[in-house]
Amino acid sequence: MSGGDNLDFEIRPNPAPVSDADRTTLLANPGFGRIFTDHMVTVRYAEGKGWYEPRVEARAPIPMDPASAVLHYAQEIFEGLKAYTTPEGGVAMFRPDANAARFGQSAQRMAMPVLPQATFLESLRQLIKIDRGWIPENDEGSLYLRPFAYASEVFLGVRPAMEYLYLVIASPVGPYFSGGVKPVTVWVTPDYTRAAPGGTGAAKCGGNYAAGLSAQAEAIEHGCDQVVYLDAVERKYVDELGGMNVFFVLDDGSLATPPLTGTILPGITRDSVIKLAERAGRRVDERPVSFEEWRSGAASGRIREAFACGTAAVITPIGTVRSPEGEFTVADGGSGEVTMGLRQQLVDIQRGRAEDPFGWVHRVL
């Protein structure tokens, strides 16, 4: 079937799936992003034909020509979200419609065809259904879903490709923090920026992450867990962490977070935090926060807490902040009441253990 928003997926079960016994062994300690399920989704695109050949099939290597456009011009985007078991034994996803929308926005920025949101959502549902047995049956585990698309046309030339491949793979994961949630230490890099105005900062493309690997290595050299970027224009205002958005909790209980100006990824967890905080009566200001405000605010007690947020770790408290000028500790040491309260509330909603006031949880099974 070709084109249109409603594609019928052909199901081709893996003829040699992992045995139940081996799968149970793997799920006992899955880690994060180390093991993968039996199946994957593929959908093809060709200029003039649209999206076609939607399939669920055995997970396998992808044949790729050395002249595939993605290898030379980096037309590639991806998403990340999770499926969870619910208390009544079902399976649900958290805000997949938001991931679908962002996937389309990333495609537009990278001059790629937009996958219909209905196809995006159905691809996730189909993979979850066939690989249901890979979802960890504990309170900390989940199935991490990785939809992605890349330019598959075989050619050399600087122009948007005319052929693409969309895929979804899945990885059962345990808690991001194996020893429990602990405050992280971050490094404010003086040398690197994440994105500039007019760039690809708001798109979820692999190039943004590749460009940040040197900065992350710099952070590790300074004994830090994550890197913090300042804005590319003035090198003054906090942008985001290497792969997470950042929030500050002030002494009046309000929150502040850098605004979405095109250089910051519009995080779905970020948006969820804003909505939950506002529903609880907290003011949330999306405004520039300078590094100096962070440092002086931590010293005076004006900034009581700081945290980062994203799909993988949900909410991560920030404890110590290091830079070439020295280091300081956020007033509460990184384990504040607001931070941990928001984290618990969000986790409980995701896993179906609490009221879902915004209709974020999408039932699959």
So what's the pLDDT on residue 334? 57
So what's the pLDDT on residue 54? 98
So what's the pLDDT on residue 172? 98
Name the burial class of residue 15, with classes exposed (0-12), middle (13-18) and buried (19+) by CB atoms within 10 angstroms of its CB: exposed
So what's the pLDDT on residue 178? 66
Q: Using the structure block, give the residue that is written with the tokens 């020509």.
A: 65
In sequence order, the β-bridge partners of residue 83 are 93, 143
Which of the residues are catalytic? 204
So what's the pLDDT on residue 202? 97
Residues of the chain with pLDDT under 50: 1-3
Q: Using the structure block, give the residue that is written with the tokens 């110590």.
A: 320
Q: How far apart are CA 124 and CA 118, in angstroms?
A: 10
Q: Using the structure block, give the residue that is written with the tokens 């990278």.
A: 110
| 123, two tokens | 């691809």
* E-only strand ranges, the chain: 10-11, 39-46, 50-58, 76-78, 81-85, 91-94, 142-151, 163-173, 184-188, 226-230, 238-241, 245-250, 255-257, 284-286, 303-310, 314-323, 326-329, 361-363
